[in-house]
């Protein structure tokens, strides 16, 4: 890994996948892309929502659930983080709950020692209703109750990074509740229908209103269950400009957090100091 970086900067990568119904296959693809990102200099790598499985049936996620702190997916990512000396943000893994037919949809963060340092359970559960179709994540998921914040002290510089998952993106109060951060992470599996209309504008809005970077890692393509996801993983700066993006298919995007740029944007337009509520 390339470590020649300004201490006022921190390098990130988002992985985009088209996950299948085979956990081992998905773990293999994720591992290859994480290694590619690390070789390109990323110090933190973000995986998309359901990187581990896009099941044929919604209940398939229940069959691969893991107990928090133990399991194939957690063990492999922890080992990889330790080997590559990077942070891996696994968004998301289905974790056990007290209900036999429901799980938490959880983001886990592994540090360069392979230790899990933060867990965030998705708080907002997606549902939609049309004349022909009804879907509700609450049928298989239990919502989290607390926001998630990742703090990284790297070379004496503190980086505050907010955690959110997919449908959370539509609720700006969650992002404000996390306070002033350097970056928000958004692993997602946005549908093609909603993604083409809302994905980019919502991500850019979260960056602009919070004057911070946003890194979004998406599912991007047509899956074996015939579901089509929007893709468009992207890295957005604090002014709302898209610096990097990937439309569809597997791959990575890279971005660099800069304290200088954050300070410049917040000094030029000190909106965060003007809040009344």
Catalytic residues: 49, 122, 166
CA-to-CA distance for 21 and 57, rounded, in angstroms?
9
- Six token digits for residue 204: 């850019």
Strands of the chain, DSSP E: 9-16, 44-46, 87-96, 103-110, 116-121, 127-129, 134-136, 148-154, 157-163, 183-188, 213-218, 233-236, 242-246, 251-258
Sign of the torsion angle spanned by Cα atoms 171, 236, 218, 256: negative
Q: Which two tokens stand for residue 98?
A: 């007290």
Tokens of 52: 């581990």
Contact 162, 176 (CB under 8 A): no
- Run of H or E residues at 25: helix 23-39
- The CA angle 253-109-158, to the nearest 5 degrees, is 80
Cis peptide before 92 (omega within 30 of 0): yes
Distance CA(71)–CA(255), nearest Å, equals 31
Sort 88 into a burial class: Cβ within 10 Å, 0-12 / 13-18 / 19+.
buried
């Amino acid at each position: 890994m390339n470590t020649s970086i300004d201490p006022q900067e921190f390098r990130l990568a988002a992985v985009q996948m088209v996950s299948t119904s085979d956990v081992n296959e998905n773990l293999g693809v994720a591992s290859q892309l994480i290694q590619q990102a690390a070789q390109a200099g990323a110090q933190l790598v973000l995986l998309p929502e359901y990187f581990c499985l896009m099941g044929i049936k919604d209940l398939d996620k229940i069959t691969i659930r893991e107990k928090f702190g133990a399991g194939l997916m957690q063990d492999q990512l922890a080992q990889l983080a330790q080997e590559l000396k990077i942070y891996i943000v696994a968004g998301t893994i289905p974790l056990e709950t007290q209900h036999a037919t429901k799980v938490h949809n959880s983001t886990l963060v592994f540090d360069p020692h392979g230790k899990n340092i933060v867990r965030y359970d998705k708080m907002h559960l997606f549902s939609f209703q049309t004349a022909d179709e009804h879907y509700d994540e609450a049928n298989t998921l239990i919502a989290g109750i607390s926001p998630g914040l990742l703090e990284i002290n790297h070379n004496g510089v503190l980086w505050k990074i907010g955690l959110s998952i997919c449908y959370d993106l539509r609720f700006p109060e969650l992002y404000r509740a996390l306070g002033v951060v350097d970056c928000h992470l958004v692993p997602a599996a946005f549908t093609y229908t909603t993604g083409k209309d809302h994905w980019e504008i919502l991500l850019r809005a979260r960056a602009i209103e919070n004057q911070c970077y946003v890194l979004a890692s998406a599912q991007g393509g047509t899956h074996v269950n015939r579901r089509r996801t929007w893709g468009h993983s992207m890295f957005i700066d604090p002014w709302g400009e898209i610096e990097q993006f990937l439309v569809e298919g597997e791959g990575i995007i890279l971005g660099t957090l800069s304290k200088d740029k954050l300070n410049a944007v917040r000094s030029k337009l000190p909106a965060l100091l003007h809040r009344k509520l």
